[in-house]
Structure 1
Amino acid sequence: MKLRISHETVYCYDQPIRNLVQSLRLTPSIFEGQKTHEWLIEVPDGIKGPGFRDGAGDWIEGWTLRGPAQEVTVRITGHVETRDTAGVLRGHRELIHPLAYLRDTQATAPDEALRKLAQSTGTHNDALDLAHKLSALVSKAITFRPGVTRAQTTAAEALALGEGVCQDHAHALISLARLRDLPARYVSGYLHSTADGQPHEAAHAWAEIHVGNLGWVGFDAANGCCPDERYVRLGSGLDASDAAPIRGVAMGSGIERLAVAVRVEEEMAQ
C-alpha cells in the first residue's frame, strides 16, 4: 500500500516564549514492512540540529527555535510504501536487548486488577499464543472511547474505567505482557483506516511484544488486530512518554495550547 501522510502540530502560547528546544521522533522506521520514498520535517523559523539513530533503532532529530514566538508549528509530509508482515518487525536494526523492556514505568505499573487479568489465561507454553490472548483480553476489557482519559492516564486507571483510547490499550497490554515475563514496548505511528474501513484522522499507537524466535510482534488491542499494511511505524519506548514523537522544552511562562491535524491517504496506482 502506498500512503501519503501529512501531520501538523501547532503549539500556541498566550505569552511569547523566549526559546524552544525539541527532540523529534518523527521519521518512519526502517524494516521489511515499510519503505520511505519521501519524508520532510519542517519547523518554520526553526534551526535544525544534528540527528542520530538511538539504541532502539529510531531516528531522532533535534530542532531549536529562538523567540520571541507565540506559535510553533511542526509539519511533516511524506510518502511511505507498506506491506503486511503479520505484525512481525523483520529487518529492524536495534541494539537494546529485549529484556530491557520488562521494566515498568508509572504508566504501565500493574495493580491487583491487572495482575489478576494477566493470570486469567492460565499456563501457556507458546509465547505467541499467549500474546494474542493478552491482546484479546485488553480489547474486551477496555472499550475504545475518545475523550474519557488523559495523556497521564495509567494502564491501571484505564482498566478500572473500562474505556480509553489507543494509548490506554497499549499501556494495558504492555503491563499484562510484562507480568507474564514477555518484554513489551509502546509504538507510535499512523493508521490509514480502522478495521471497519473508517478513515483514521489522528496519530496512532500500539504495543510490540517480544515472542522468542519471531522477535518483536505488533498488537493493536484498540482494533483487535496485528499491524498490517495500513500501519506506519515511527518509533518505540517503554511507554507513551518515552516513545513520544515530539518532546521539548519551551522557555517562558505562557500557557500552552496544542492543535494536531493528521491525514493518511492511500495513493492510487496511476
Structure 2
Amino acid sequence: MLLSVDHVTRYRYDRPVRGVVQSHRLVPSTFDGQRVRDWGVTVTDGLAGGAFRDGAGDRVQAWTVPGPVSEIEVRVTGTVETVDLAGVLRGHRELVPAEVYLCDTLATQADAALAALAARALGEDGPLAMAHRLSALVSDAIAYVPGTTTAKTTAAEALAQGQGVCQDQAQALIACARHVGTPARYVSGYLFASDGDAPEAAHAWAELFVAGLGWVGFDAANRCCPDDKYIRLGSGFDAVDAAPIRGIARGNGQEILDVEVAVRQVQQ
C-alpha cells in the first residue's frame, strides 16, 4: 500500500519565549515492512542540528529555534510504501538487546490489577499465543473512548477507569507483558484508518518480543497486529520516551499545542 502523510504540529506561546530546542523522531523506520518514497520535515525558523540513529534503530534529529518565538510549525510530509508482515518487525537493524525493555517506567508499572490481568494470559501454548491473549484482554479491559484520559495517565489508572485511547491501551499491554517476563516497548506512528478502526491518524501500539520471531506489534485499540495500513516511526519504554517530538522552551510563556494529521492512500 502507498500512503501519504501530512502532519502539522503548531506551538503557540501567550508571550514570546527566548528560544526552543526540540528532538524529533519523525522519520519512518527502515525495515522490510515499509520503504520511504519521499519524506520531509520543516520547522518554522528552525536550525537543524545533529542527527543520529540510536541503539533502537530510530533516527533522531535535533532542531533549534532562536527567539523571540511566538509560534512554531513543525510540518511532516511524505509517502511510504508499506507491506503487511502480520506485525513482525523483520529486517529492522538495532543494537539494544530485547531484555532492556523489561525495565518499568512510572507510566508502565504494573499494580495488582494489571498483574492479575497479565496472569490470565498465561498458558502452555507458547509465547505468541500468550501475547495475542494478552492484547485481547487489554482490549476488553480498556475501552477505546477518546477524551477520557490525558498524556500523563498511567497504565494502572487507565485500567482502573476502564477506558482510554491507544496510548493507554499500549502502555497497559506493555505493563502486563513486562510483568510476566516478556520484553515490551511503545511504538509511535501513523494509521490509515478504515471503517471500524480507531480513528487516530497519529497512532500508537506496542511491540512484544517473541522468541523465534523477534519483535511483533500488537494494536490493542484495533484488536489486530499492525499491517500495511500502519507507518512505524519509532519506539521507546513508554509514550514519553517514544514521542515523535520532544522539546523545551526557554521562557515563561504558556504553550498552546495544536496537531493535525492526515494519512491517505495513494493510487500506485
Is TM > 0.5 for Structure 1 vs Structure 2?
Answer: yes
Structure-2 separation of matches of 1:223 and 1:132? 13
- SS of residue in 1 equivalent to 2:108: coil
Which residue in the other structure is 2:193 paired with?
Answer: 193
Instruction: Provide Cα deviations, 1:156-213, integer angstroms capped at 9, x if missing partner.
Output: 0000000000000000000111111110000000000146268x35310000000001
Which residue in the other structure is 1:24 paired with?
Answer: 24
Cα distance change, pair 44–122 in 1 and its aligned pair in 2 (3 A): closer
Tell me which stretches of 4 or more aligned residues in structure 1 moved more than 2 Å: 121-125, 194-198
Which residue in the other structure is 2:64 paired with?
Answer: 64
CA RMSD of aligned residues (A): 1.1
Give the letter for the 2:219 counterpart: D
Which residue in the other structure is 2:10 paired with?
Answer: 10
Cα distance change, pair 12–92 in 1 and its aligned pair in 2 (3 A): same
Q: Is the 8 A contact 2:122 2:130 kept in 1?
A: no
Equivalenced residue count is 268
Percent of residue pairs identical: 58
Which residue in the other structure is 1:242 paired with?
Answer: 241
Structure-1 separation of matches of 2:120 and 2:27? 38
Using structure 1 for the length normalisation, give the TM-score. 0.97
Q: Is the 8 A contact 2:110 2:175 kept in 1?
A: yes
Where do residues 1-270 of structure 1 align in structure 2 (5 Å cutoff)? 1-194=1-194, 196=196, 200-269=199-268
Cα distance change, pair 37–227 in 1 and its aligned pair in 2 (3 A): same
Instruction: Provide Cα deviations, 1:70-107, integer angstroms capped at 9, x if missing partner.
Output: 10111000000001000000000000000000000000
Give the letter for the 1:15 counterpart: R
Q: Which runs of 5+ in 2 are unaligned?
A: none
Structure-1 separation of matches of 2:21 and 2:138? 36
Structure-2 separation of matches of 1:251 and 1:7? 25
Q: Is the 8 A contact 1:195 1:223 kept in 2?
A: no
- SS of residue in 1 equivalent to 2:190: strand
Give the letter for the 2:237 counterpart: L
Q: Is the 8 A contact 1:201 1:263 kept in 2?
A: no
- SS of residue in 2 equivalent to 1:213: coil
Cα distance change, pair 201–161 in 1 and its aligned pair in 2 (3 A): closer
- SS of residue in 1 equivalent to 2:137: helix
Q: Is the 8 A contact 1:142 1:158 kept in 2?
A: yes
- SS of residue in 2 equivalent to 1:210: strand
